Amino acid sequence: MPVTKFSTPEKYRYQNGFGSYHESEAVSGALPIGANSPQKPPFGLYAEKLSGTAFTAPRHENQQTWLYKILPSASHSAFNEREASSYNTNPEGHKLHQIPNQLRWDPFDMDETVDWVHSLKLVAGAGDPTMKSGLGIFIFAAGKSMEDNQAFYSADGDFLIVPQHGVLDIQTELGKILVRPNEICVIPRGVRYRVELPEGPVRGYILELYEGHFQLPELGPIGSNCLANARDFQAPVACFEEDTIGSYTILSKFNGHLFAASQTHTPFDVVAWHGLYYPYKYDLGRFSVIGSISFDHPDPSIFTVLSAPSPRVGTAIADFVIFPPRWLVGEDTFRPPWYHRNTMSEFMGLIGGEYDAKTGGGFKPAGASLHNIMSAHGPDSGTHEKASNAELKPMKVGEGSMAFMFESCLMVGVTEWGLKTCKKVQEDYNEESWTPLEAHFKIPEGVRRISNLVDGDVARGAIDIGKSVNGKGATGEMEKGQLPHYT
């Protein structure tokens, strides 16, 4: 059944559709008809435009949303830098280790002392949010809900949130979203929100996209359906608070630093909205897997849920890829991922279960791995041995498991926190995984070695082959170092 069975029931209503033009109102008649910014919007509301792309972006890329608020977002005090000496999530502000070694992390620790904002730890990244280029990869592990009078937004990029443990109850300006393990959530740049933890501590992964926005991958010869279907993405419906005399704090992540401003009205006062720029979530259990039904298996790009393309066609700043439960039926095929070196960087995480391409328990839920550009990797020795000798009958792999990958065309640097401070890097990852691989190469008796030299064995062999093909052999004189010419 293509739906995850969650232990925590859904509590909110949603609008369905990826990239759809949505509109929602929490009070009937709050949306203006036939105009975006009338002289007097309904019910004394303020019209405010939230722009996720330049006004002049091509129509198919343009992402804007009109908000109808009790008070505009501009009504706040000046922003002041906060925790300047300790809060910095900009990759450019960190010592990054660009290294070719294969890396794997043990599960990251819970931290019940911090809220959402302060739980964000930059593990790796590339680029610079000030130039709107690149990405950041984070671990979050929080134990406290944000304060009731706080809201947070990132001016740096879009957050793709992948929970591994616990439940996130997210109140955004445009409505509320409940996010559970095996769901993902995307909160666009600039959208203000508050995170509550209704069931205690949470932990998971975040990819912050500094450049562009996520979109569904092209399907090409697959056709019009499968992979992540547009109808399965869910956007919130309008839901607002009414408070114009309270005390509220707006926290801004701006170039990786934390700033704070105060205001006397709730930031969650959007009574109605319409547009293309909004948060959304997706149940990974609804992903419709494509695979081979004969021999070999396609590239792992067939598991792409969302993609953020670079200016080079077919190359992504970031792809979000999953490895869900699926059937394998390929004949005479090595079924796990083959050994490879990739021009893309691959950061993997495990939401739950056991990843089918690894044995021995080294890759655990809440852990991670990084195989950077051209760093060779593939199945460990145990997996190779098992798969090479398995009976190739139809089998389902990944039952009860969900692994994912953040893939990027960029060389990803690892922060000091990710490499050393967290103390989670497995120092023996390479030695345990691939050093035990044994050479099985053997030339059967009677099989002839073929020389690569133009004189000697190759020339003599060529003459023999020529005679056997046409019975005539070479014609004319052949100088030393030349291959014969045949008639």
Q: How many residues does the chain have?
A: 487
Of 378, 287, 288, 285, which Cα lies nearest the Cα of 335? 378
State the Cα–Cα distance between residues 33 and 383, nearest whole angstrom: 61
The count of other CB atoms within 10 Å of the CB of residue 298 is 10
Joined together, the tokens standing for residue 268 give: 């969650």
The three-state secondary structure class of 182 is coil
The three-state secondary structure class of 223 is coil
H-only helix segments in 120-167:
none
Of 268, 238, 253, 251, which Cα lies nearest the Cα of 206? 253
Find out whether 279 and 186 touch, Cβ atoms under 8 Å: yes
Q: Which of 297, 371, 384, 485 is catalytic?
A: 297
What are the backbone dihedrals phi and psi of residue 430, each rounded to the nearest 5 degrees, phi first?
-65, -45
355 labelled as ligand-binding?
yes
Q: How many CA atoms lie within 13 A of 70 on its CB side?
A: 18
State the Cα–Cα distance between residues 324 and 282, nearest whole angstrom: 14
Joined together, the tokens standing for residue 29 give: 């008649």
Residue 92 buriedness (CB in 10 A; 0-12 / 13-18 / 19+)? middle
First CA to last CA distance, the chain: 66
Residue 3 buriedness (CB in 10 A; 0-12 / 13-18 / 19+)? exposed
State the Cα–Cα distance between residues 238 and 67, nearest whole angstrom: 10
94 labelled as ligand-binding?
no
Q: Name residues whose C-beta falls within 8 Å of residue 217's C-beta, 6 or more positions apart in sequence.
A: 227, 301, 304, 306, 307, 319
Q: What is the largest CA-CA distance in the chain?
A: 103
Q: Is the dihedral of CA 209, 213, 215, 218 positive or negative?
A: negative
Beta strands in 210-247 (DSSP E): 233-236
DSSP states along 327-357 = EE--BT---SPPPB--SSEEEEEEEES--TT
What are the backbone dihedrals phi and psi of residue 321, each rounded to the nearest 5 degrees, phi first?
-125, 140
Residue 297 appears among annotated catalytic residues: yes
- Beta-strand pair 158-165/248-254: unpaired
97 labelled as ligand-binding?
no
Q: CA angle, corner 252, sides to 249 and 257, nearest 5? A: 125
The three-state secondary structure class of 474 is strand
354 labelled as ligand-binding?
no
Of 320, 295, 296, which Cα lies nearest the Cα of 307? 320
Residue ranges at the known binding site: 340, 346, 355, 377
As annotated, the active-site residues are: 297
Binding residues for homogentisate are 346, 355, 377
Residues forming the annotated binding site for Fe cation?
Answer: 340, 377
